[in-house]
Amino acid sequence: MIRGDGESADTLNLFANETILQEYHQMGRPAKPSPRRWPLPSPKSSIILGGLFVRADGPGERSFLAQISLACFVSAMSDPYFQQLFAQRIGGANYGKGTEIYKFEKIKRAKRKALAEHPERKLVDFGIGENDAMADESVRRVMAEEINKPDNRGYADNGILAFKEAVAKFMMREFHVELDPVTEINHCIGSKPMLAMLPAALIDPGDVTLMTVPGYPVAGTHTKYYGGEVYRLPLLAENDFFPDLDAIPEDIRRRAKLLVINYPNSPTGKVATRAFYEKVIDFAMTNQIVVAQDAAHIMLTYETKPFSFLEVPGARDVGVEIHSLSKGWNMIGWRMGWVCGHERLVRALADVKDNCDSGQFIATQKAAAAALNDAEIPRQTRAKYRRRLEKLVATLRRCGFDCRMPGGSYFLYTPTPKAIADGTQFPTAEAFSQYLICEHSICTVPWDDAGSYLRFSATYEAADEAAEDALMDETERRMKQIGPVFS
């Protein structure tokens, strides 16, 4: 009998699967190995297969294991010599060999399958998390002019003053927040790299970053790269989708250096209240933690007027806010954002950044400055996504979903059905989302991190309002046919 019983053994610790076995049978004799890195497999009585300890009890089974071992060996031989050199943080020698399929890849595959199997059925795509429109014509015109100016050709380092001054004016106009453009603002090549740089400035091995879940994971990934730990703060309906800061254990508070929050929140759509920000500031002061507020969706705020963390007294003493032109200005691909707040933190992040990149193209920075100077652009973006989200909420409510207008972002985050009219049960949002796309060509993004929810994005492609309405009608028709059941 061949068993997998979870023990460890000093045998081959290589990854094998059926494909490898087939490859081995097709390949014939492998080339002579280097004895230093690749010891030849011998007929073992046990191996570790994909991390599972497997033991053979009889001679036939030993021979079978020997074949698997050889197959593993052949697979290892087809690796580049540097397979052994990959850092542990990205998987070490097993890098690129995992079989786990990540959520977004599963969605992509299901989309391809739905399109291939049902070419007659239009894909209703609520999965995309990117603006569907181009940057405003006026911004593109500035870019077209600036791109031809020789003065714009060089390294931009930590950013040009004209952009920082435009940010300072914008922060004053929209939030009544006064910032020194030289010391309290720095540009970044989109907010994602700035979130990735935060841990470089703050996290040493053993330090903790507090991160809300579900959420944008970049700062957490880099925290782990630096040997730090991530403590997850679930965003639950019973806490009104705010993190429960009081529930963080004492040991974690002591080791925590960074709290990353994101409002308007993606994907929950929750907007921060003044009281919540006051609580965050108090928590940060008491526990001596730096706050990074990710404001990527800030201009897509519907419930209130857009509200900056830095408007709240004390915020600048505990942290920074990271902004982006991606969402509110339809400039996702342009890669422009900024960090602003406490001078010493901005300086630390600018120092890290200076060692990572040489700044965004100056022409892009000038076009972004023009975008910031035009108050109308984010207002129009907001009006469009508000309209689309209102239609979506009304449509899904008619189909039985318990959803309401999000406070902000271009996402609608709503509890997933437990079953459908024909009795089929769905234990997770992921299972329902896969069913929706495979059987009905409706694409959504599932979240099972803190309850089971579906995320519908209002960034679907529709040329005009009539096309939006037609898409809503089609969504309603298909959803009613499915008959979602929620209790």
Ligand X SMILES: Cc1ncc(COP(=O)(O)O)c(C=O)c1O
Contacting residues toward ligand X, per CB under 6 A: 129, 190-192, 216, 262, 266, 294, 296, 324, 326, 332, 337
Which residue, 337 or 407, is less far from ligand X as judged by CB? 337
Give the amino acid at 418. Answer: K
Largest Cα span, the chain: 80
Shortest reach from residue 124's CB to ligand X, in Å:
21
SS3 call for 218: helix
Please provide the distance, in angstroms rounded to a whole number, between the alpha carbons at the two ends of the chain. 46
Residue appearing with tokens 């979240």: 447
Indicate the SS3 state at residue 22: helix
Are residues 211 and 217 in contact, defined by beta-carbon separation less than 8 angstroms? yes
Cα–Cα nearest to 474, from 410, 417, 392: 392
Instruction: Name the β-bridge partners of 409.
Output: none
Spatial contact of 67 and 91, defined as CB atoms under 8 Å apart: no
Residue 31 CB: number of other CB atoms within 10 A? 9
The DSSP output letter for 152 is G
Token pair listed for 150: 């020789």
Rounded Cα gap, residues 3 and 6, in angstroms: 9
What is the closest distance, in whole angstroms, from the C-beta atom of residue 192 to ligand X in the complex?
A: 3
Is the peptide bond prior to 193 cis by the omega test (within 30 degrees of 0)?
no
Quote the Cα angle for 218-223-228, to 5°.
Answer: 155
Q: Which is nearer to ligand X, 327 or 478 (CB)?
A: 327
In angstroms, what is the minimal distance from the CB of 330 to ligand X?
A: 11
Question: In the bound complex, what is the minimum distance in angstroms from residue 342's beta carbon to ligand X?
Answer: 20
d(CA 285, CA 148): 48
Question: Cβ of residue 178: shortest distance to ligand X, in angstroms?
Answer: 24
Would you say 191 or 301 has its CB closer to ligand X? Answer: 191
Give CA angle at 246 (240, 252), nearest 5°: 120
Q: Fill in the amino acid letter for 72.
A: C
Residue 196 C-beta: closest distance to ligand X, Å? 9
Label residue 9 left, alpha or beta by phi (over 0 means left) and psi (-120 to 50 means alpha): beta
Residue 257 three-state SS: strand
Report, in Å, the least distance between residue 194 CB and ligand X: 8
DSSP, res 484: E
Residue type, 438: C
CB closer to ligand X out of 24 and 276? 276
| Rounded Cα–Cα distance for residues 111 and 63 (Å) | 43
